[in-house]
């Protein structure tokens, strides 16, 4: 054997020895990695599955029929579990019953995403294929459809940024001023102070009266007076549409769900007409330059929103459908709560007297008051928050963007998560105080929030983290490179008790979808109630109360909940 052959064999043996050494050294690393991953997969499981009978469909029919009753039933199957899994149309849906898990979902907006629901709602309300392609540009989705060209438009992001800026500050003040002016005018028309008949008792259903007056005042404040010129029946339409809105999400064809589709079509036609008339009025110089409010557009926000949608190439039908959803959402939540808060006050004459004392401290004249000061009064604040807790049921949905860890659970990509606010708001573990029977969460207890704390600081801090995650993710513009386990921050803003209680109060959702209209909702609900209290004497008709019973929250709908029965009162003009 020559010298070259021996050198080659020696080199080969040397390399083999090196590879064997590397392999031996890597075995412990591989074993540790495998064992860690294996233990993680063993430790993490989806939340417990609620049994179902019908394959693939699972619980879908029950969930769509009555989400509140279904969620209560699902919770009863695993009362100590912070979450449960249900089967709907071949996919898993995770119901969240735990305050801490809910807060993590809201904060981790890059993993738990809402954009798919906006896109689905837009499709149901009339968006074209081209509209959907525009909406999907830069949207947070699980999978991007092939063939979607991205030209840089970010309409969902832009809409998200637009709303808060126009529903606070100067715009909020203008919105509130117009609302209260119209409401007071309507009260004065029904009970003219100059007519003696106005000072005689008149019996009526409180809910119907508040529906009529608050809807008119808030629609004029948001959309102007001209909408009533072209659509006199808009008030009646709102409440009919509210009854059928949820059924549209079953996506049944029109012949199987004719009433809902007919109401949707009416709303689309009238919202399209409203926009066309406002554009024409602007072209003809009937609208002054850039006002905060005008009779055709209403609040400046409505005009700027329409302009943004048009500039981004979204169709007339999409804009009309978007207007339908906006109008319905603006009316269908705050007004039921307005009815509930007034009803609960009238059932408690001692509370009514105490509220009049707080009103007196805020009055600037016989019929006027400082609303900003009023909303800081302890009894009014506590009453407001308790009404939100007791009379709302606001399911907050998200899509899981990738496999991730939430608490002790593994959640699968493409599945849906629903935080059911009413479950959190009625949980005895959060709300019941031992030795204080009135604190039972099934009771309406006006003093529940008399500790002086507000949920706004908590939701603002939580919202800030969610917004940061959302904007970072949108700028990245990618569906990948996100850590599944995510962060689970500990909240440190208040004492643990107060923090836990306020984290469980979720009438306005949370995270990036925290309702931007919540500030006006407070002004509308409390300001509207005080405007009535200063102008009218109102008493419960005891005979009718005995016959009908005390109203409870009607759980057949979501969002703000109406009373489940008539509440008959007598009213007359208050002498000042």
Q: Where does 14-79 show beta strands of DSSP type E?
A: none
b/e 4-39 (16+ beta carbons within 10 angstroms → b): eeeeeeeeeeeeeeeeeeeeeeeeeeeeeeeeeeee
From residue 362, alpha-carbon distances to 284, 374, 534 in Å are 43, 6, 12
From residue 357, alpha-carbon distances to 351, 395, 508 in Å are 10, 37, 29
Tell me the C-alpha distance between 128 and 315, whole Å.
8
CA distance between the termini of the chain: 123
Within 10 Å of residue 223's Cβ, how many Cβ atoms? 25
* Residue 132: burial class (beta carbons within 10 Å; 0-12, 13-18, 19+): middle
Q: Where does 23-106 show beta strands of DSSP type E?
A: 83-88, 91-96
Could you tell me which of 177, 185, 187 has the C-alpha nearest to residue 535? 187
In terms of phi and psi (left: phi > 0; alpha: psi -120 to 50; beta: otherwise), the region of 90 is: left
Q: Is 271 one of the annotated binding-site residues?
A: no
User: Which phi and psi (to 5°) does residue 182 adopt?
Assistant: -65, -40
Computed on alpha carbons and rounded to an integer, the radius of gyration of the chain in Å comes to 28
CB 273 within 8 A of CB 267: no
Residues belonging to the chain: 576
Q: Residues at the annotated binding site for heme?
A: 515
Q: Residues at the annotated binding site?
A: 515
């Amino acid at each position: 054997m020559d010298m070259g052959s021996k050198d080659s064999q020696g080199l080969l043996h040397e390399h083999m020895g090196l590879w064997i050494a590397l392999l031996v050294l890597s075995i412990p690393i591989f074993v540790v990695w495998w064992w860690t991953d294996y233990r993680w997969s063993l430790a993490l499981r989806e939340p417990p599955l609620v049994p179902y009978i019908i394959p693939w469909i699972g619980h879908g029919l029950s969930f769509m029929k009555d989400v509140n009753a279904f969620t209560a039933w699902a919770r009863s199957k695993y009362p100590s579990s912070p979450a449960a899994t249900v089967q709907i149309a071949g996919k898993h849906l995770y119901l969240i019953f735990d305050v801490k898990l809910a807060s993590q979902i809201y904060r981790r907006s890059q993993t738990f995403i809402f954009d798919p629901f906006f896109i689905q709602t837009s499709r149901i309300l009339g968006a074209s294929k081209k509209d959907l392609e525009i909406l999907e540009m830069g949207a947070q989705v699980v999978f991007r459809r092939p063939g979607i060209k991205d030209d840089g438009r970010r309409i969902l992001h832009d809409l998200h940024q637009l709303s808060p800026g126009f529903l606070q500050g100067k715009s909020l003040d203008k919105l509130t001023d117009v609302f209260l002016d119209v409401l007071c005018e309507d009260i004065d028309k029904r009970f003219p102070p100059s007519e003696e008949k106005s000072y005689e008792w008149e019996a009526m259903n409180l809910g119907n009266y508040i529906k009529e007056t608050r809807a008119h005042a808030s629609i004029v404040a948001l959309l102007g007076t001209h909408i009533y010129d072209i659509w006199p029946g808009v008030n009646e339409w709102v409440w009919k549409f509210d009854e059928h809105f949820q059924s549209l999400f079953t996506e049944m064809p029109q012949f199987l769900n004719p009433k809902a589709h007919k109401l949707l079509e009416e709303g689309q036609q009238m919202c399209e007409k409203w926009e066309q008339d406002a554009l024409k009025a602007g072209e003809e110089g009937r609208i002054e330059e850039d006002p905060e409010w005008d009779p055709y557009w209403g609040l400046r926000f409505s005009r700027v929103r329409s302009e943004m949608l048009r500039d981004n190439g979204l169709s007339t039908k999409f804009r009309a459908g978007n207007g339908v959803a906006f109008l319905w959402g603006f009316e269908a939540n705050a007004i039921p709560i307005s009815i509930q808060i007034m009803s609960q006050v009238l059932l408690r004459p001692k509370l009514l007297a105490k509220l009049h004392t707080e009103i007196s401290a805020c009055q600037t004249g016989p019929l006027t008051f400082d609303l900003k000061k009023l909303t800081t009064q302890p009894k009014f604040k506590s009453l407001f928050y308790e009404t939100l807790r007791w009379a709302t049921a606001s399911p907050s949905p998200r899509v899981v963007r990738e496999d991730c860890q939430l608490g002790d659970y593994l959640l699968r990509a493409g599945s849906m998560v629903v935080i059911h606010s009413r479950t959190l708001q009625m949980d005895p573990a959060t709300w019941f105080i031992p030795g204080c029977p009135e604190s039972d969460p099934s009771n309406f207890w006006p003093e529940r929030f008399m500790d002086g704390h507000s949920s706004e600081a908590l939701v603002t801090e939580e919202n800030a983290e969610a917004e940061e995650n959302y904007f970072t993710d949108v700028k990245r513009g990618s569906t990948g490179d996100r850590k599944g386990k995510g962060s689970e921050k500990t909240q440190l803003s208040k004492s643990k008790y107060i923090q836990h209680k306020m984290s469980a109060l979720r009438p306005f959702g949370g995270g990036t979808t925290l309702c931007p209209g919540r500030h006006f909702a407070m002004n509308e609900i409390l300001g509207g109630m005080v405007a009535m209290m200063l102008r009218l004497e109102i008493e419960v008709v005891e005979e009718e109360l005995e016959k009908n019973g005390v109203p409870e929250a009607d759980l057949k709908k979501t969002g703000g909940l109406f009373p489940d029965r008539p509440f008959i009162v007598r009213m007359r003009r208050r002498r000042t």
